[in-house]
Structure 1
Amino acid sequence: MDITQIKSFLAVAETLHFGRAAQSLDILPASLGRQIRLLEDKLETRLFVRTTRSVSLTEAGNSILEDARALVAQAERLETKIRDVRKSETPVLRVGAIDSAAAGLMPQLLKMVREELPDLDIQLFEQKTIHLLPKLLSGSIDIAFCRPPDVRDQRLNFRTLFFETAVVALPVSHRLADKDSIAISDLADEPLIVPDRRSRPHSHDLTIKLFVDVGLTARIAQIAEEKQTIVNLVAAGTGLAIVPRWTSRFQVPGVAFVPLSIPQGTTRSKLILAAAWTRGTRDERRDAFLSILDKKLPELERTA
């Protein structure tokens, strides 16, 4: 017997209204009606008396109501038990990371974790911070490597790890490509590619503030969303871009990455990388993962 048909029967029996029952199941009334008809055909009896004004249970419908509730409850217990068994057999840690961390931090960290926790299965999700934090709150991921927002949700823990190094991405043929380092003043007249502030406020603000700090205005030639797109635009000659050093791991042909000389100050904090997770939750896998991260942090920071 199809459990979906039983759930449909219960929804109508408890509301005595096909429209409200369909809404509670998030399906169309026509689909709900079809499930009820299939169940009635299977049982070879009418379960509801339907008129244009009302819906009521037949004697047969009333007689199976408690049994139907018991069947659904048993099915839900079975699903929960199977999920728990699967979870214990295949431990999975769901990790979110912004693009630079996914390119630079995670390949190194995952190798370290596999050496110490070979049975831990890790699923990696690459997204922007604005998408990762809601996923933490909903339970879709267990930990995220992100830029902490200026206003932090008190439901989340943020642990500062380190600051990523800013570099300049520029065409290999550019006059500055062979320099050991580049100052912001060197970029005064250069067209720049920057990310949209709505989706990447930290990276956007980093570029703008670096110029403001030395009394210059950034000459923005192009807005682009993804780091990979930005680096490809650099390769095409659209402009230069200030990006995290780990972005160089994208290895786009024709692009050089030169260290950016940043005066000591607060601007550097725009490239802070933090680990975030839901406050007040206990997770042995996450804690074991963080323990390895803590031990390897100095080694990882040297590459950032």
Structure 2
Amino acid sequence: MNIYQLRCFLSVADTLHFGRAAQSMDMLPASLGRQIKILENQLDTKLFFRTTRNVSLTAAGSAILEDARSLVAQADQLEEKIRAIRKNEKPLLRVGAIDSASAGLMPQLLQFFRAEHPHIEVQLFEQKTIHLLPKLLSGSLDIAFCRPPDIRDPRINFRTLFYETAVVALPADHPLSKQSEIVIEDLADIPLIVPDRRSRPHSHDLTIKLFMDAGLTARIAQIAEEKHTIVNLVATGTGLAIVPRWTARIAIPGVRFLPLSIPPGATRSKLILAAAWTRGTRDPQRDALLDVLDRNLQAIEDSA
């Protein structure tokens, strides 16, 4: 038994006419009759006497009439209460972001967004791209800011935002720290700290490809997972690291960050930051965020 079947029962009981009852329910008489039949089978009793000329309630139908009205009225009150609660709730936008986006993009973007849309609540989840994309497809996230994978799922839209700037993290007392800029040839034979490729393929491949393009081989001294760990290892003298510019905001004593000169070409693609969302979905909160982003993208990109 469900509320819809009880509504069908009440409509017939009030009109004692299947045609008029079906019209009031905006359904075909045959469909209405089928719902009544299902209800009768579930209750194991007949609710209406029906002939070609007349429809009337059985004793059982008359006995449950007021109870059915009460149940439907309670259901209506419950729906109204839920609608009132939802009306008072803030719309929710669930945003996923890789560490670069969480530290570099989101603080500025959310400042602009909250100034224009203070009524929208934003929940931010920081994870790696390999974890964010499945959450988009499952509906756990509304939008994600990530590195687009080499093989893109056709169910997801990717919009390139900008290319992040690469810098070199090195000890403050390192001989290269006196330079205003570093080129890849400066790092030949110098121990390097790189991320694990399984979890951070873009960051790992950026370092490797920069050396390959220069005809060199990266000398990997340490694999590390998180940016904080990498910068702390740089401070201990374990090696140097090529990282996005936002990493300079991690204040570790004894570590400097110098610009890295990257020749134009495919290597920059490893530093793409993109917005991603599930194709074919409509979301006014997500669209509002993208609109604010589009209008302020240049200012955000300048600091990336």
Q: CA deviation at 1:261?
A: 0.6
1:141 and 2:144 aligned: no
1:183 and 2:187 aligned: no
- 1:149-191 residue CA offsets vs partner (Å, 9 max, x unmatched): 0010111100000000110011111111121110000000210
Structure-2 residue corresponding to 1:107: 107
Task: Tell me, in whole angstroms, the C-alpha distance in 1 between the residues paired with 2:79 and 2:97.
Answer: 30
Give the AA of the match of 1:294. D
Q: CA deviation at 1:87?
A: 7.4
Compared CA separation, residues 81 and 192, structure 1 to 2 (3 A): farther
Structure-1-length-normalised TM-score = 0.72
Structure-1 residue corresponding to 2:36: none
Q: CA deviation at 1:86?
A: 3.8
- 1:6-60 residue CA offsets vs partner (Å, 9 max, x unmatched): xxxxxxxxxxxxxxxxxxxxxxxxxxxxxxxxxxxxxxxxxxxxxxxxxxxxxxx
1:232 and 2:251 aligned: no
Structure-2 residue corresponding to 1:14: none
**Mapping of 1:23-102 within 5 angstroms?**
82=82, 85-86=85-86, 89-102=89-102
Q: CA deviation at 1:228?
A: 1.3
Structure-2 residue corresponding to 1:270: 270
Q: Secondary structure at the match of 2:300?
A: helix
Task: Tell me, in whole angstroms, the C-alpha distance in 2 between the residues paired with 1:82 and 1:252.
Answer: 50
Structure-2 residue corresponding to 1:222: 222
Give the AA of the match of 2:276. A
Task: Tell me, in whole angstroms, the C-alpha distance in 2 between the residues paired with 1:259 and 1:186.
Answer: 12
Structure-2 residue corresponding to 1:295: 295
Structure-2 residue corresponding to 1:245: 245
Compared CA separation, residues 282 and 220, structure 1 to 2 (3 A): same
Give the AA of the match of 1:264. P
- 1:218-256 residue CA offsets vs partner (Å, 9 max, x unmatched): 000000111111111111211100000011112222211
Structure-1 residue corresponding to 2:160: 160
**Mapping of 1:200-215 within 5 angstroms?**
200-215=200-215
Q: CA deviation at 1:136?
A: 0.6
Q: Secondary structure at the match of 1:154?
A: coil
- 1:75-104 residue CA offsets vs partner (Å, 9 max, x unmatched): 9x9699749944761211111111011111
Structure-2 residue corresponding to 1:40: none
Structure-1 residue corresponding to 2:52: none
* TM-align CA RMSD: 2.2
Give the AA of the match of 1:191. P
Task: Tell me, in whole angstroms, the C-alpha distance in 2 between the residues paired with 1:82 and 1:210.
Answer: 56
- 1:89-141 residue CA offsets vs partner (Å, 9 max, x unmatched): 12111111110111111111111111111111111111100000011111111
Contact 1:103 1:250 in 2 (8 A): no
Compared CA separation, residues 153 and 184, structure 1 to 2 (3 A): same
Structure-2 residue corresponding to 1:13: none
Give the AA of the match of 2:275. A
Q: Secondary structure at the match of 1:168?
A: strand
Task: Tell me, in whole angstroms, the C-alpha distance in 1 between the residues paired with 2:220 and 2:255.
Answer: 19
Q: After TM superposition, which residue ranges in structure 1, 4 or more long, deviate above 2 angstroms?
A: 77-88
Compared CA separation, residues 150 and 87, structure 1 to 2 (3 A): farther
Task: Tell me, in whole angstroms, the C-alpha distance in 1 between the residues paired with 2:87 and 2:196.
Answer: 39
Task: Tell me, in whole angstroms, the C-alpha distance in 1 between the residues paired with 2:79 and 2:177.
Answer: 59
Task: Tell me, in whole angstroms, the C-alpha distance in 2 between the residues paired with 1:80 and 1:94.
Answer: 26
Identical columns (%): 75
Q: Secondary structure at the match of 2:178?
A: coil
Task: Tell me, in whole angstroms, the C-alpha distance in 1 between the residues paired with 2:83 and 2:140.
Answer: 15
Give the AA of the match of 1:156. I
Structure-1 residue corresponding to 2:42: none
Structure-2-length-normalised TM-score = 0.72
Structure 1: state its 5+ residue gaps. 1-70
